[in-house]
Structure 1
Amino acid sequence: MQTVTFKNKNLDIAADLHLPDDFDPSRRYPAIVSAHPIGSCKEQTSGGIYGKALAGQGYVVLAFDAGHQGASGGEPRYIEDPGLRVEDFRCAVDYLVTLDHVDEDRIGVLGICGGGGYAVTAAMTERRFKAVGTVAAVNYGRLMREGDLTPDSAIRTLDAIAAQRTAEARGAEPRVDDVLPSSPQMAEELGITGLDMVEATKYYRSPRGQQPHGVNRSLFSHAGPAIGYDAFHLAEQLLTQPLQIVVGGVPGEFGSYRDGFDLLDRARSAQKDLLVVPGQSHYDLYWKPEATQQALDALIPFYDKYL
């Protein structure tokens, strides 16, 4: 593995370049851009699990930290803006096509959770991506709009964002939200029972998946663009690349199960498939060997065929 950076305008985007075990710089390899979940980082599931596994199958895999997050540059920190996130993907391809050992005609993309939604958005206007894979993909805009499931929850949130942004423009301290409890024990003390919230806390706040940059923090004043975002907007018209969707068969409140079926229905792709991994949840697909292996058993032949 090599630690590299590439540019998104004036930002340095930090990435890990996972290379095949028998890497030969004189050869040209297919490549995959691998994108992390919301609040995650390249050392976790996008690179540490899927990136390593795909590199072991002969792919060059670029797992990157989103701008304003992780080890990447960008101030202020902890921005989750879909427009910025999607541009990272295009710049990742710009970097890959400069490498002599990457075949520019065989570049694919993989995204996990919110990174899966962004991967879909990016692929619709980035034709250098020849194949699209998602694992537990979440349409982040849909999730943000649902809020407390009342009709005006998104409007109330946008009003609060507006007030916070005005306050910060006048000198107030930024509001940075910890999206998850500090520990699984704290989640239990708070009475949190939702499957995805409980398992997210176990993943991000325990040795199961904890990494210094996988902090799940959010700058509230900059959350507005996500509320107006639809990861699958225009998929019926613009998403034509081969598509492999993987979801867990145990649905949780973040909605990746239903988003997977929504994406399958909406995608224009002539070659598209959805794998439901039975008995496994959204977060099982981040780390649990019996879940991730089933996902890889679908993704590897998919990329082998189309890249």
Structure 2
Amino acid sequence: MDTVTIRNPGMAWDIAANIHYPPNFDPAIRYPAVVSNHPIGSCKEQTAGDVYGAAMAKAGFVVIVPDAGTQGGSGGEPRWTEDPEQRVRDYRDVIDYLQTLTYVDPQRIGILGICGGGGYSIKAAIIDKRIKALVSITGVNFGRLFREGFSQFDPVGALEAMAVQRTAENSGDQARVDVFLPESVEAGKAAGIADIDVLEATDYYRNRNLQKGAGTRMLFSHSAPAIAWDAFAFAETLLTQPMMVVFGDKPGGFGAYRDGMEIYGRAASRDKELVVVEGWSHYDLYDHPAPTGIALDRVIPFLKQHLGQANAS
């Protein structure tokens, strides 16, 4: 694995990314490639890299796992900005970079995203037809989630509060950075939190896979674009690539079950597959061997079918 710094003319900052290589990697061979995108609040060293990225590389793909701009090892200011359109631009710039690599076939690039990264990857596939195959792992439409649970079902009130906060920060007040999760599962339960997604997210980020780059936080004053954003807009006409949607059948407050069913029904893709992993939850699909194994047993053949194998140059 290598860590690279990506900068293209259209980018406002450098992006840090890990590249995972297939076994017996030969730079003289052209490989199919996959962009593997981490969840909101995560980083390249967690599930997108150490589980799905590693498995796809082992199966013969070159896999690039970027950190979100303003987060992790990537540049960008202000830090912890969560702007969905910027995420999609970042992914497209990562594809620009992939297409310059002599060992990547520029016509055989796929995309995989997890949680919010799944929603962002769906949007990227809607507008960028260089993406030849799409996989969403427990994907979430962050715009829908923000308009509902993240804003306490008061998106206009949230926008008004953001406007007040941004005005205050422009006058010199301290930035407001919202942390998504409690400090521990026990603290969450003591605060009355019962939602499976929040508690299991806390266990994943605070216990199972601690990483310095995983901020699990968001700059409140710069979050307004997310409220007016929709990962699935125009999917009925523009989302045409082969698509696989994977989620567990234990639903939680972040809504991956609901969003997965929705995008599967709405996508114009003629070749689309729905994988419901029975008995497992959103965060089980991040790193637990049994459900991730079930997912990968479907994802790897799907990607091989649509992206093919390595070819001699």
TM-score by length of structure 2 reads 0.96
Q: Is the 8 A contact 1:209 1:287 kept in 2?
A: no
The AA in structure 1 aligned to 2:125 is A
The separation in 2 between residues aligned to 1:113 and 1:119, in whole angstroms, is 10
The separation in 2 between residues aligned to 1:281 and 1:187, in whole angstroms, is 18
Q: Deviations over 1:46-68 (max 9, x none)?
A: 01100000000000000000101
Q: Is the 8 A contact 2:112 2:134 kept in 1?
A: yes
SS in 2 for 1:232: coil
The separation in 1 between residues aligned to 2:229 and 2:203, in whole angstroms, is 28
1:23 aligns with 2:22: no
Shift, 1:215, TM fit: 1.8
Shift, 1:75, TM fit: 0.9
User: In the alignment, which residue of structure 2 is the partner of 1:98?
Assistant: 100
Query: 1:1-307, aligned counterparts within 5 Å?
Result: 1-7=1-7, 9-147=11-149, 153-206=154-207, 208-307=208-307
SS in 2 for 1:28: strand
Shift, 1:191, TM fit: 2.0
Shift, 1:184, TM fit: 1.9
The AA in structure 1 aligned to 2:108 is R
Where does structure 2 lack aligned partners over 5 or more consecutive residues?
308-313
The AA in structure 2 aligned to 1:185 is E
The AA in structure 1 aligned to 2:202 is T
Q: Is the 8 A contact 2:151 2:158 kept in 1?
A: no
The separation in 2 between residues aligned to 1:150 and 1:192, in whole angstroms, is 14
Shift, 1:109, TM fit: 0.2
The separation in 2 between residues aligned to 1:287 and 1:150, in whole angstroms, is 29
SS in 1 for 2:14: strand
The separation in 1 between residues aligned to 2:48 and 2:109, in whole angstroms, is 16
Shift, 1:21, TM fit: 1.2
Shift, 1:192, TM fit: 1.3
The AA in structure 1 aligned to 2:166 is R
The AA in structure 1 aligned to 2:211 is Q
Where does structure 1 lack aligned partners over 5 or more consecutive residues?
none
The AA in structure 2 aligned to 1:261 is M
Q: Is the 8 A contact 2:112 2:121 kept in 1?
A: yes
Shift, 1:137, TM fit: 0.2
**Percent of aligned positions that are identical:** 54
Q: Is the 8 A contact 2:71 2:215 kept in 1?
A: no
Shift, 1:150, TM fit: 6.6
Aligned-CA RMSD value: 1.1
Shift, 1:10, TM fit: 3.1
The AA in structure 1 aligned to 2:189 is E
The AA in structure 2 aligned to 1:77 is R
The separation in 1 between residues aligned to 2:146 and 2:6, in whole angstroms, is 30
User: In the alignment, which residue of structure 1 is the partner of 2:310?
Assistant: none
The separation in 2 between residues aligned to 1:69 and 1:155, in whole angstroms, is 27
Q: Is the 8 A contact 1:147 1:154 kept in 2?
A: no
TM-score by length of structure 1 reads 0.97
Shift, 1:149, TM fit: 8.2
Q: Deviations over 1:38-91 (max 9, x none)?
A: 100000000110000000000000000010111000011000001110001100
Q: Is the 8 A contact 1:242 1:270 kept in 2?
A: yes
The separation in 2 between residues aligned to 1:281 and 1:210, in whole angstroms, is 20
Q: Deviations over 1:102-131 (max 9, x none)?
A: 011110000000000000101111111000
